[in-house]
Structure 1
């Protein structure tokens, strides 16, 4: 089985944490992730995310519980902007991205783009 890039695993851990809607232990997150990553790997990722200020943590007995310290939608949008910034042809990348959207996602995007003055 090929290994995931660490950035991808970080994103998956953040998405799993967001999906839980509150705090979670390392073990709870391991159970939600695909491909059964090792407990120690997920714990290391959580520590890195904590150091980056993306998650907060608090003691619960002998272990930590983690929760998002940032808005998930802002985090995803920042990643998308960063990828576009480094693309040699951002318009082509956007075109390919838009072509992968479901009908519902495309409808939502059109609705967002049609709202005047609400883009940042």
Structure 2
């Protein structure tokens, strides 16, 4: 029985997001054991396996059998996922301008420089 792939539009849990970020940091492809080592707090192998199974069901990762285990690969663009999560949070905020203001004030100098360049667009880079 095929599962509904539209479920990937639901907001991701924190550990799901961390696993996706770790997978991206490992070049978009890894085994469960590699991800466990990469995650803060070293969650249990079975916990990470459960998260990977959920991400697979949501269509966010693909997997191929590698002996007794699976090798996982990102099936989506991590930056698009994170941007979608940020947008979703803003959409539900009672005062999105205040949220943006607080977010921008927490940026590093380098991050702020990149944001300014993006907001200025091609004409601001002359």
Query: What is the rounded CA distance, in whole Å, between the counterparts of 1:25 and 1:10 in structure 2?
Result: 15
Q: Aligned-residue CA RMSD in angstroms?
A: 1.4
Mapped partners of 2:18, 2:90: distance in 1: 20
State the TM-score, normalizing by the size of structure 2. 0.85
Corresponding residue SS for 1:64: strand
| Rounded Cα–Cα distance in structure 2 between residues aligned with 1:68 and 1:100 | 29
Aligned equivalent of 1:68, options 70, 74, 79: 74
* Unpaired segments ≥5 residues, structure 2: 1-11
Aligned partner of 1:93 among 99, 105, 124: 99
Question: Is 1:42 matched with 2:48?
Answer: yes
Q: Runs of at least 4 residues of structure 1 off by over 6 A?
A: none
Match of 1:105 among 107, 111, 116: 111
Match of 2:22 in 1: 16
Q: Normalized against structure 1, the TM-score is what?
A: 0.90
